[in-house]
Amino acid sequence: MTTTANTVTSHPQKTEHRMQNLQMVDLKRQYNKIKPAVDAAIQSVIDSTAFIGGPQVGHLATEMAAYIGVEHAIPCANGTDALQIALMALGLQPGDEVITPSFTYMATVEVVALLKLTPVFVDVYPDTFTMDVESLRKAITPKTKAIIPVHLYGQCADMEPILAIAKEHNIPVIEDNAQAIGGSYTFSDGRTVKTGSMGTISCTSFFPSKNLGCYGDGGAIFTNDAALAERLKMIANHGQKVRYYHEMVGCNSRLDAIQAAVLRVKLPLLDEYCAARRTAADFYDKAFAGNPRITTPVRAANGYHVFHQYTLKLNGVNRDDVHKQLADRGIPSMIYYPVPCHKQEMLKEYNTANADLPVTNMLQDVVISLPMHTELTEEELTYITKNVIEITG
């Protein structure tokens, strides 16, 4: 765009105050802070030429299991594979029902359909955006063979009642922890545990923009069950325990050593990264407090929210207009997710489009996520909040 003296004087504010280079997730600034350690870690893998498997992946598995507080961690190629392998390891059969919220990233549900299982959608709470427990209770049938709560936007689902219902019906729980690694949950007896440590199996993603992101694709699967861990490991490795003896149909889902090396540099910083996200969320909360058009995200009292996303609900303004106007002022925002899973073309054979999910259907039109990452400055936050307030005003 060419700027003439004229346009500068006719839009003095826009030109003077427009902030350069705001991003939803700023991975470059984060990298700059850890560059020597990351570069050395990557170089050491190249020097070793152990690109697949090897000590980096093994050490990461041990360190991840210790961090989450479970017995077994199995690194794999990405978070979607992690969910698929989890379902495969549970031995589900075509037609078995899997309960998940519709208000999630499509990957949670795609793997259900891929394995010819039947997705059964439940609603979410309008304040915390996580699985509605009453909706879950009503959705259980004799065919229910798994429940997948999603810790959406960095907030843990209300696991205590979910686990109780699952136990009552003897149904395994797979936590989708792709967005909440580093978060935690406190049970009514006071016990506080990490997200991803409560389910029969839990899954996470190391996609670069996730709270613990690598520099490519990556994921991991967690469990306390030794037999299940064995099956998960085999499935991720072509169904073999002993090389070239394939006991079951599996897939090829490996985390490469370069990604493991990057993750081993970043894992010790994860708690700090989560705290930085929460500080940015605090700033947003304060700036928007009491604004009638803006509902800030609610933090469940029994959880430690790690703000993978900072997601507002807008009231009485057109969300898509706000999104556009923010973009005009150089402020990125995202709609997670514009079409909930139950309405996706992908699932048309399941006829879920008209499912009774009033909260999900409402949220689809009002949510908007603002820039959220570990490097947001007060100056940037001030600029973003000032403009959001002006535009929604």
- Count of Cβ atoms closer than 10 Å to residue 170 Cβ: 7
- The least CB distance from residue 14 to ligand PLP, in Å, is 34
205 lines the binding site for ligand PLP (CB under 6 A):
yes
- The least CB distance from residue 129 to ligand PLP, in Å, is 11
DSSP classification of residue 237: B
- The least CB distance from residue 282 to ligand PLP, in Å, is 23
Stretch touching ligand PLP by CB under 6 A, among 77-85, 268-276, 310-318, 358-366: 77-85
Stretch touching ligand PLP by CB under 6 A, among 38-46, 91-99, 175-183, 298-306: 175-183
Among 56, 78, 128, 211, binds ligand PLP (CB under 6 A): 78
Binding residues for ligand PLP, rule CB under 6 A, total 15
Q: Which residue is nearest to ligand PLP (CB)?
A: 79
Instruction: Write out the binding residues for ligand PLP, residues 90-149 only, by CB under 6 A.
Output: 104-105, 107-108
Among 26, 123, 176, 380, binds ligand PLP (CB under 6 A): 176
**Residues 368/320, Cβ–Cβ less than 8 Å:** no
Task: Kindly tell me the sign of the dihedral angle through the C-alpha atoms of 384, 385, 386, 392.
Answer: positive
User: Quick one: 330 or 332, whose CB is closer to ligand PLP?
Assistant: 332
Beta bridge partners of 223: 72
What is the Cα 343 distance to its own chain's centre?
Answer: 20
- The least CB distance from residue 341 to ligand PLP, in Å, is 11
Give the C-alpha separation, 29 to 221, whole Å.
29
User: Quick one: 166 or 178, whose CB is closer to ligand PLP?
Assistant: 178
- Count of Cβ atoms closer than 10 Å to residue 15 Cβ: 12
- The least CB distance from residue 238 to ligand PLP, in Å, is 20
Task: Please give the C-alpha separations between residue 161 and each of 198, 220, 248, 259, 316, in angstroms, as whole numbers.
Answer: 12, 25, 34, 36, 34
Give the C-alpha separation, 82 to 205, whole Å.
8
Composition of the chain by helix, strand, coil, percent to 5: 45, 15, 40
Q: In the structure encoding, which two tokens stand for residue 70, read together?
A: 């479970």
Pairing mode, strands 174-176 and 184-186:
unpaired
- The least CB distance from residue 72 to ligand PLP, in Å, is 19
User: Quick one: 202 or 387, whose CB is closer to ligand PLP?
Assistant: 202
Residue 132: name the closest of 318, 306, 362 by CA: 362
Beta bridge partners of 71: none
User: Quick one: 108 or 333, whose CB is closer to ligand PLP?
Assistant: 108
Give the C-alpha separation, 388 to 393, whole Å.
8
User: Quick one: 107 or 306, whose CB is closer to ligand PLP?
Assistant: 107
Give the C-alpha separation, 283 to 290, whole Å.
14
Q: Which residues bind ligand PLP (CB under 6 A)?
A: 78-80, 104-105, 107-108, 150, 176, 178-179, 205, 207, 217, 219
